[in-house]
Structure 1
């Protein structure tokens, strides 16, 4: 009987011990004790599942980059204001934040732990040396492609071809700059060695100068008060081109705003349409900007202002996209 009673107690104790979670890991309160800062970047996160805990750990790891990069950008910005030639560099901060939060390279999730309350805890880390090598390879490859785009731009036989390649070079150079910012946090010596051979400031100047040489003429039928033309001028100017002659590009089209004749008890319905063909110097249509829709208004007096607000929003958003698609297609043709 004593043996049976002792066995029952032993089994009960064993069952109770099985309900307990393992001892809290050392990395939970002090990640650097397990992943030394000299060799790793690390962060801890928690969630209702292992997956959400790992996601939270990755997000917390990205905040290390965000704080480092934002601090660097603020220092550069302050320093630039003291120079005789005033310039600002913090306009890239939003892009840096997005990159640091979404596209960190080589994040590892090694361990997870479940506490007594059922919450999961996970650690994310980056191996500095291994990850620095990956970054350097990507930066070197990007720099090679930027140089190739610049060579194509120098050899281009038209302002449009040159603009397409300068634009592609600038976009890739911006991406490379953001990778370099991350690499400085991961392993500063490698970042210094990976510095690209081109000047991004000179690249941006070349793109801006070439854009100013692209003159654009605008001819819109049905635009009695030239409101649509003014909207298109604003879009073209923001894009970096110049409105005027002799034209490298011509925006030719028509705009209409008509009463549909449809009514409800309290609403009138109007249709609007804008069709603009963007043509090169040879008269070829390279892209088309089309906007159409219906406005529901309470009075005729309300109709035109609503129409122009809707049209302007559409032009400023979709016009640049159409031009972007055209310049991207020029790059694809040369691959």
Structure 2
């Protein structure tokens, strides 16, 4: 077992003992001034209240997280460019920021001491982090993330497959973003520990390598029956989120067919159409990487309005399901077990 994980288990043990005590009677000192009981040089501390002990501890945890900001956002901004050349549509995307993690603040090694019930039966609880002990855990987690980044960057460098190279760099970017989040928390918990945990790789170089690799992945899209190019445009928008280029010749190909027909069914105020979309994403060898098969019906006041509604339904399905299946595919190309 990793040393930092063992340390975490050891540090959690006191919580099971001290965390089961609820005081009554006079107000404890930590209510008026938590830092008097938990000195700021050694601890980060916050107090919360609720109808139950569990609710009070959750409130204390939330107040503790506000010290670090409620949410950390590292936006992934993309510069989208498109042009037509020789009858072929080409669309490229430049990455201008880190691979993104949008998450509520998650803190590690939060501990709870006693709680106190006031005369109104409201429960108050204290949550705290021991700065030095928690810093040791964070250093271990950051070191693990950084080691994975180095491993995946090396894996990408050695890969002869463009898709595997992209997948490795994409995974490296995700671990780098997680490391950055942990490091930002460590800066608050124990600033002296930060220099020793700063990553040895360049995040800018990692971003550039991912963007450059993504631009080499061209995707040819052919959807029969898509006369208005609505499904084609939706697929183009999807692949640019990965940094790929829509054009020829394709490293990947999206082939499919869309059919929307009037069912002939009418009610007193609705007209119904039936829709069906079948599409597959394939690599150069013809292996299916992701697929979508959607069928159903939509109703509206006219055939055209019902058609528009059916396309919106299909666009939502593409954005969610095809993206999820592509993510699953690229994740499957990454072998982190060899580390």
The two structures share one fold, judged by TM-score above 0.5: yes
Distance 2:297 2:149 in 1: 44
Number of positions where the alignment pairs a residue of Structure 1 with one of Structure 2: 296
Aligned mate of 1:132, from 131, 135, 141:
135
Matched, 1:25 2:35: no
Aligned mate of 1:263, from 263, 266, 270:
266
Q: 1:64 — aligned with what? A: 67
SS of the residue 1:331 aligns to: coil
Q: Is the 8 A contact 1:260 1:269 kept in 2?
A: yes
Aligned mate of 1:44, from 20, 23, 47:
47
SS of the residue 1:138 aligns to: helix
Q: Deviations over 1:162-213 (max 9, x none)?
A: 0000000001110110000000000011122101111112111111111011
Q: CA deviation at 1:311?
A: 2.2
Distance 2:288 2:190 in 1: 49
Aligned mate of 1:283, from 282, 286, 298:
286
Q: 1:17 — aligned with what? A: none
Computing the radius of gyration from Cα coordinates, the structure with the larger value is 1
CA RMSD in angstroms, aligned pairs only: 2.3
Q: CA deviation at 1:310?
A: 2.3
Q: 2:56 — aligned with what? A: 53
Distance 1:90 1:155 in 2: 23
Q: 2:236 — aligned with what? A: 233
The answer for unaligned runs of 5 or more in structure 2 is 1-22, 75-94
Q: Is the 8 A contact 2:290 2:322 kept in 1?
A: no
Aligned mate of 1:174, from 169, 174, 177:
177
Matched, 1:121 2:128: no
Matched, 1:253 2:268: no
Q: CA deviation at 1:41?
A: 0.1
Distance 2:234 2:284 in 1: 22
Deviates more, 1:153-162 or 1:221-230: 221-230
| Structure with the largest fraction of helix | 1
Q: 1:309 — aligned with what? A: 312
Deviates more, 1:57-66 or 1:187-196: 187-196
Deviates more, 1:128-137 or 1:297-306: 297-306
Q: 1:7 — aligned with what? A: none
Distance 2:249 2:313 in 1: 31
Deviates more, 1:146-155 or 1:261-270: 261-270
Relative to structure 1, is the Cα distance of residues 31 and 38 closer, same or farther in structure 2, using a 3 angstrom cutoff? same
Distance 2:273 2:309 in 1: 10
Distance 2:235 2:38 in 1: 56
Q: CA deviation at 1:88?
A: 8.1
Distance 1:114 1:213 in 2: 63
Q: CA deviation at 1:90?
A: 9.8
Matched, 1:192 2:188: no
Distance 2:337 2:259 in 1: 38
Distance 2:147 2:50 in 1: 42
Deviates more, 1:225-234 or 1:136-145: 225-234
Question: Relative CO higher for 1 or 2, CA cutoff 8 Å, sep ≥ 6?
Answer: 2
Relative to structure 1, is the Cα distance of residues 91 and 322 closer, same or farther in structure 2, using a 3 angstrom cutoff? closer
Aligned mate of 1:147, from 145, 150, 153:
150
Q: CA deviation at 1:266?
A: 2.0
| Structure with the largest fraction of strand | 2
Q: Is the 8 A contact 2:262 2:303 kept in 1?
A: no
The answer for unaligned runs of 5 or more in structure 1 is 1-19, 74-86
